[in-house]
């Protein structure tokens, strides 16, 4: 029982110094090179997104991967659409929703819980932070108002997406994120959420004979309602 504790701070510091020392030795120098805190984001090649309607491109690519989508005129009208959609596809109504969506005119018999999803949660509604036209996927930020379990636990996932939040490239999301989180007196990184999640349709696996099957662990059906304000 006298084995040293691997989490002991002195031992940990020694291990750290050894690894960094070995890296430096093999790079042929003694100390880390001086460099500015964070240089401007580097500019790397992007994938050309033709100058077409971004919403249309986004939907085409989203649907090519097994997701579904619909356009509605306003955020509030998404409710009506979802009632009809659930009825038409014989889906259980959502039981969980992101907090900012609770203000929408939901039917009285759809009591929506903003808390985390549980093992029996069948269906949830979320609000996307952005859509990316490059590949046709969505970005989400976790937080007190948007439980991350809503994205992965339910069988059915409904998502509201503001048409104005559809951007061309991933780089545009990063720029939006820095603006969204930054304040005049604080670095954007002080307000990072625990997770940034990109979702590109229903969960899938090809692990049995490379046959693509939807609904491996996450949602089997993902339906996006795009609104404009």
Partner 1 sequence: MQIRTREFVPRATFALHDPNLQRALAKAADGFIGKRAKAIAEVPEFEALREAASARKDEILSELDLWLERFEARVRAVGGQVHWARDAEEARAIVLALCRRAGARTVAKGKSMVSEEIGLNEALAADGLEVIETDLGEYIVQLAKEPPSHIIAPAVHKTKEQVAELFAEHHGGPPKTTVPELVTEARLQLRRKFFRTDVGITGANFLIAETGASVIVTNEGNGDLTQSLARVHIVTAGIEKVVPTLEDATLFLRLLARSATGQDSETYTTYSMGPRRADDPDGPQEYHVVLVDNGRSRMLGGPWRPMLRCIRCGACMNHCPVYGAIGGHAYGWVYPGPMGSVLTPLFVGLDTAYDLPNACTLNGRCGEVCPVKIPLPDLIREVRHAQQRDGLHPPAEQRAKALWRRAAERPALYHGLERLAVRLLATLGRKGRIRRMAGLHAWTDARDLPAPSGRTFLELWHAKGRDE
Q: Which of residues 14-73 bind partner 1 (CB under 8 A)?
A: 15-16, 18-20, 22-28, 32-33, 35, 38-39, 41-48, 61, 65
CA dihedral 142→59→215→121, nearest 10 degrees, is 50
CB atoms within 10 A of CB 67: 23
- Cβ proximity to partner 1: between 83 and 165 the closer is 165
Interacting residues with partner 1 between 132 and 151 (CB under 8 A):
134-135, 137, 142-144, 147-149, 151
- Give min distance, CB of 104 to partner 1, in A: 20
- Give min distance, CB of 144 to partner 1, in A: 4
- Cβ proximity to partner 1: between 43 and 108 the closer is 43
**From 51-59, 77-85, 87-95, 190-198, span contacting partner 1 (CB under 8 A):** 190-198
- Cβ proximity to partner 1: between 27 and 84 the closer is 27
DSSP annotation of 4: P
228 lies in the binding site for partner 1 (CB under 8 A) = no
102 lies in the binding site for partner 1 (CB under 8 A) = no
Please provide residue 66's backbone torsions phi and psi, each rounded to the nearest 5 degrees: 95, 0
Site string for partner 1, 105-134 (x = CB under 8 A): ---------xxxxxx--------------x
Among 68, 77, 122, 197, binds partner 1 (CB under 8 A): 197
> Got the DSSP string for 32-80?
PPP--SSPPPP--------SS-HHHHHHHHHHHTT-EEEEESSTTHHHH
- Cβ proximity to partner 1: between 110 and 174 the closer is 174
Place of tokens 């590109």: 200
CA 4 to each of CA 8, 20, 104: distance values in angstroms, whole numbers, following the listed order: 8, 22, 57
> Got the DSSP string for 139-152?
EEE-BTTB-THHHH
In terms of Cα–Cα distance, which of 121, 117, 95, 115 is closest to 106?
95
152 lies in the binding site for partner 1 (CB under 8 A) = yes
- Cβ proximity to partner 1: between 94 and 202 the closer is 202
Q: Which residues, other chains included, contact 193 with Cβ-Cβ below 8 Å and sequence gap of 6+? A: 141, 142, 143
């Amino acid at each position: 029982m006298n084995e040293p504790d691997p989490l002991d701070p002195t031992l940990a510091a020694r291990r750290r110094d050894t690894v960094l020392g070995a890296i430096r030795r093999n790079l042929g120098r003694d100390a880390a090179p001086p460099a500015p805190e964070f240089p401007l984001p580097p500019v790397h090649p992007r994938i050309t997104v033709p100058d077409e309607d971004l919403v249309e491109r986004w939907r085409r690519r989203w649907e090519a991967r097994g997701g579904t989508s619909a356009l509605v005129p306003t955020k509030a009208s998404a409710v009506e659409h979802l009632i009809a959609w659930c009825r038409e596809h014989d889906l259980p109504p959502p039981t969980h929703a992101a907090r900012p969506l609770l203000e929408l005119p939901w039917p009285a018999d759809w009591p929506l819980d903003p808390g985390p999803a549980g093992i029996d949660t069948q269906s949830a509604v979320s609000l996307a932070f952005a859509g990316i036209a490059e590949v046709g996927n969505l970005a989400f930020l976790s937080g007190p108002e948007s439980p991350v379990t809503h994205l992965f636990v339910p069988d059915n996932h409904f998502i509201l997406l503001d048409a104005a939040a559809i951007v061309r490239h991933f780089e545009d999301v990063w720029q939006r994120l820095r603006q969204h989180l930054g304040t005049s007196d604080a670095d954007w990184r002080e307000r990072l959420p625990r997770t940034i999640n990109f979702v590109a349709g229903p969960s899938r696996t090809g692990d049995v004979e490379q046959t693509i099957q939807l609904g491996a662990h996450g949602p089997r059906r993902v339906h996006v309602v795009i609104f404009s304000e």
